Amino acid sequence: MGARAQWLGWALAISVGGCLALAPIAASAQPRPPAPAEDPEEQVIVVTGTRTERRLADSPVITEVITRQDIEASGAEDLAAVLEEHPGMDVNRSSISGANLRIQGLDPQYVLILINGERVGGRVNGAVDLTRIPVADIQRVEIVRGPSSALYGADAIGGVVNVITRRPTQPWEAEAHARYGMLDTVDTSARAAMLRGPVSASVTAGYRRRDAFDLDPSNVATNGSTYDSGTAAGRFEWQPSRSFSLVASCDWLMRHQRGVDGGAGGAVYDRQNLTETLSVSLAPEYRFGPALASRVRVGAWYTDYRDQYSLDQRNSNALDQFQETRNRIGQVSAQLDHDLGRGHLLTVGAEGYYEGLAADRLRAGSGDRQRGAVFIQDQWTLRGALPRLVIVPGARLDVDSQFGAAPTPKLQVRFDPHRAVALRASYGWGFRAPSFQELLLSFENPGVGYVVTGNADLRAETSRSVNLSAEWRPRRWLWLTTNLFRNDIDDLIDTVLLPRANPAEAERYTYRNITRAWTMGVELSARLRPRAGVVLDLGYTLTATRDLTFDRPLEGRAMHRVNLGVQLRHARTGLEFSSRAAVVGPRQFYPTTGPAMAPLYASVDARAAWAWSRHGQVFVACDNVLDAGDPRFLIVPPRVAYLGVTIRR
């Protein structure tokens, strides 16, 4: 306890100290903040869709980018909050496992979360908790919908979210951020960075906390946990020449969550989770050829994730539990991007992957798997001038120690009939291996009254997906996109309730390969910049799903989802206002008491800020203005107002 408090104390001291140290700088500077670039999409380099650096406007794969500016305007403090305000991103929160993401109606285990192109470890029930990733060190978030298994392998069926961290652009950079709000919410972070000659480095530290919240006062159970979270990250880049660079990074996180669970018969449990993650990576890169268009990149990274889970029954120890989970993931990769001329950019690569899991919840106590993979892709520009045509065939072969070989081909086509129009089509296969938990789990939750057991006979899931998209930019201030998608999944793994010999027994769940399911729909979005300082976003997603085993919609998916966003910025006065809203249609659930339909809901966030110089900004914000939420189907924090300051140089 003392050690934890010490670490968190250091994080807090760094953040507050950073604010105080930067305050005189911020106070003395006079210039107003410059107006943002009006067309940042043109300038952004994206990497996720093809594993190569491409200008966003030129990318053969449609890629959505949430910029640093968007993140700051939204007031989001973690990746979950960033994504839930983005059209088509279905972020689900729970009282225990934080927040996870669905894309195109597919569950979180079909969505691959990357940081700088590397997998985020520590999936819980197949999902990465997005609240673990604070925004302080995020430069941008890239989203690629649809399958990307041909490049990234397992799990990239519904889409890929790639978090790109910040890189220094000035000789010295410093930033401190602090926010305080209802529920005793504290968000602080500090960042220092330098760029001197061939060397750049940055250090980021942060501390966050929030009290638990309770959406159902009729019982003592909480719906959202109290948490304390400390993070630290360091990055170092050495680029002695234009052709060679070396990037090393280290990320550390510790988060302590506490909540109260109610159980049958009036039992009350004090629940705690302590999660720690340490990741280190090293990535040298060598560029060569004409205009240095070819490169070799070698990467190695390692993640160690540890989670302690404690359930302490009040006034008794009969139902107490303690479980520890240790997940270690290591990966080495090598990738060659070579400009073959005549419009061909070839990418070939290989990866080796190791994952070990030790957990009390596994029947055998531990398990490990190894996987090797090779992949190849050709970005073939058949015609560079309008009408422009690019074809990107690719394929990947994964060989896993548990489920054998999984080939995943993909074909993508981009056709630009007009300067303002881009049409894209893709067809690809995907796969997801059964997780350790699904194979080997043995877990009882007496608080809620259920038991989950793994199924060693599970097969890998496979998918076939089609995406058709159109991007139209009729004016510089107007950007319209539409995407039609269809995902067919075979051997879909899902939890099923086993028949009970007696209703008084705990509910027993296991995992099964459900024969087949599909999701399909359309995603529409529009971004308008009608005048300087004004950005309007509008999105609509229609998602239809079918579980073909039970002939019913998949649980918890809303057929209709509308997103609205507005950003107003007055450069002369430094005033800013932004608001995001989501309207989510009814969702079908299948609890044991019988099918239930969760009603439509709307969530609104708003933020107002004043930048007194380009070095400092104060803001006031309110999340969940309409106080949406219910303890059964919509576990989100209640309305919370904040006050904060950001100082930078």
Partner 1 sequence: MPRRTLPLLLLTLATACSPDLRPDDAGDGGAMPLVDVPGGDRPNAERVASRRDGAALVTVVDASASDQWVYLDLDRGEQAGDAMAGWDLAIQRFKVRSNGGVSGDGGVEIARLAGARFEDVIEAPMTGWLRDAVDGDDANSDPDYVFDQEGAWYAYDPMDHSLAPRDLVYVVRTTERRAVKLRMLGYYDGAGTSGVVSLRWQELASHDGGAQ
Query: Looking at 32, 68, 287, 306, which residue binds partner 1 (CB under 8 A)?
Result: 306
The pattern of x and - marking residues 481 through 510 that bind partner 1 according to CB under 8 A reads ------------------xxxxxx-xx---
Q: Are 631 and 215 in contact (CB under 8 A)?
A: yes
Return the number of the residue (53 or 216) whose C-beta is nearest partner 1.
Answer: 216
The total number of residues written for the chain in this structure? 649
Q: Does 264 bind partner 1 (CB under 8 A)?
A: yes
**Residue corresponding to tokens 């520590």:** 122
Return the number of the residue (234 or 407) whose C-beta is nearest partner 1.
Answer: 234
Q: Does 304 bind partner 1 (CB under 8 A)?
A: yes
Q: Does 309 bind partner 1 (CB under 8 A)?
A: yes
Which positions from 339 through 368 interact with partner 1, judged by CB under 8 A? Answer: 360
Please state, in angstroms and rounded to a whole number, the distance separating the CA atoms of residues 94 and 224.
7
DSSP, residue by residue, 268-309: EEEEEEEEEEEEEEEEEEEEESGGG-EEEEEEEEEEEEEEEE
Return the number of the residue (119 or 569) whose C-beta is nearest partner 1.
Answer: 119
Q: Does 7 bind partner 1 (CB under 8 A)?
A: yes
Q: Which positions ≥6 away from 24 have C-beta within 8 Å?
A: none
Beta-strand pair 159-165/138-145: antiparallel
Rounded to 5 degrees, φ, ψ at 265 are: 75, 15
Which positions from 438 through 467 interact with partner 1, judged by CB under 8 A? Answer: 442-444, 446, 448-450
Please state, in angstroms and rounded to a whole number, the distance separating the CA atoms of residues 86 and 56.
18
Alpha-carbon distances, residue 430 vs 105, 362, 395, 459, 621 (angstroms): 15, 27, 11, 14, 41
Q: Does 3 bind partner 1 (CB under 8 A)?
A: yes
Q: Does 286 bind partner 1 (CB under 8 A)?
A: no
Query: Looking at 58, 211, 312, 555, which residue binds partner 1 (CB under 8 A)?
Result: 312
Return the number of the residue (178 or 212) whose C-beta is nearest partner 1.
Answer: 212
Q: Does 314 bind partner 1 (CB under 8 A)?
A: yes
Candidates 259-267, 343-351, 458-466, 623-631; binding stretch for partner 1 (CB under 8 A): 259-267
Sheet arrangement for strand 118-119: 64-67, 138-145, 159-165, 111-115, 118-119
Return the number of the residue (146 or 230) whose C-beta is nearest partner 1.
Answer: 230
* Three-point CA angle 253, 629, 227, nearest 5°: 20
Q: Does 317 bind partner 1 (CB under 8 A)?
A: yes
DSSP, residue by residue, 39-90: -HHHH-EE-TTTSS-EEGGG-SS--EEEEHHHHHHHT--BHHHHHHTSTTEE
Query: Looking at 239, 272, 482, 510, which residue binds partner 1 (CB under 8 A)?
Result: 272
Q: Does 278 bind partner 1 (CB under 8 A)?
A: yes
Return the number of the residue (3 or 385) whose C-beta is nearest partner 1.
Answer: 3
Q: Does 291 bind partner 1 (CB under 8 A)?
A: no
Question: E strand or H helix at 34, and its extent?
Answer: none
Q: Which residues bind partner 1 (CB under 8 A)?
A: 1-4, 6-7, 250, 252, 254, 262-268, 272, 274, 276, 278, 280, 302, 304, 306, 308-323, 360, 442-444, 446, 448-450, 499-504, 506-507, 592-593
